[in-house]
């Protein structure tokens, strides 16, 4: 009986461990278009002080409490490789599927006022047509291990004059592909076409 009770308590505690975030990040995005259409997301992630201190300490070879360019490169694999299977937490709904990140480029890690800051571009390809192409962009961790607070209200959109682009932020409640996400997460709704 004790073993069963211990197993139940252990299972409950394990569930509680995974039910709340362990890392916090404030996220800003810039949506990028080229003359062909949607081509990427510029991610700007600012992590909490505790996670930042641990990650910086793990790569700070000279022990100066700062990130050199070389030390920052060590964080690219440490942080981004484990989330590659999760599309680098860049979820772009196109119709009934998520677009896959094609490549990561322009990675930069810095340590600013005690916080780890990551900047990188997730490359995508979704060409524009004569009719509207519609996308929903969410940057978040559906497992809630990292609580990512995305400022979609102030997202930037960079598009060439050859495209007509419209966008707004709103809740993702009711979107089938985003059922695993916390209900308060907002997405950036985009539509674009050739002029």
pLDDT at 92 exceeding the cut of 80: yes
Contact 77, 137 (CB under 8 A): no
pLDDT at 138 exceeding the cut of 50: yes
The reply to whether 158 falls in a domain is yes
pLDDT at 3: 38
The reply to whether 14 falls in a domain is no
Which residues, in sequence order, are bridge partners of residue 166? Answer: 191
The reply to whether 110 falls in a domain is yes
**Residues 72-99, mean pLDDT to the nearest whole number:** 94
The reply to whether 9 falls in a domain is no
pLDDT at 21: 79
Which residues, in sequence order, are bridge partners of residue 46? Answer: 26, 117
pLDDT at 9: 33
Is 0.85 topped by the overall pTM?
yes
Domain tally for the chain? 1
pLDDT at 147: 93
The reply to whether 118 falls in a domain is yes
The reply to whether 75 falls in a domain is yes
The reply to whether 181 falls in a domain is yes
Range(s) of the domain holding residue 124: 34-194
Q: Which two tokens stand for residue 125?
A: 């390809």
């Amino acid at each position: 009986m004790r073993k069963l009770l211990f197993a139940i308590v252990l299972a409950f505690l394990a569930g509680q461990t995974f039910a709340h975030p362990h890392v916090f990040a404030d996220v800003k995005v810039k949506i990028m278009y080229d003359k062909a259409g949607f081509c990427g997301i510029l991610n700007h992630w600012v992590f909490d002080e505790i996670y930042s201190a641990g990650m910086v300490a793990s790569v700070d070879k000279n022990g100066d409490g700062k990130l050199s360019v070389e030390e920052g490169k060590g964080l690219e694999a440490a942080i981004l490789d484990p989330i590659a299977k999760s599309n680098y937490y860049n979820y772009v709904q196109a119709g009934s599927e998520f677009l896959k990140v094609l490549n990561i480029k322009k990675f930069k890690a810095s340590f600013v006022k005690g916080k780890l800051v990551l900047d990188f571009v997730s490359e995508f390809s979704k060409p524009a047509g004569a009719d509207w192409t519609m996308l929903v962009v969410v940057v978040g961790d559906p497992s809630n291990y990292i609580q990512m607070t995305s400022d979609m209200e102030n997202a930037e959109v960079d598009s060439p004059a050859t495209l007509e682009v419209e966008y707004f932020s709103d809740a993702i409640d009711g979107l089938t592909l985003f059922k695993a996400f916390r209900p308060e997460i907002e997405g950036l709704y985009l539509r674009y076409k050739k002029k």
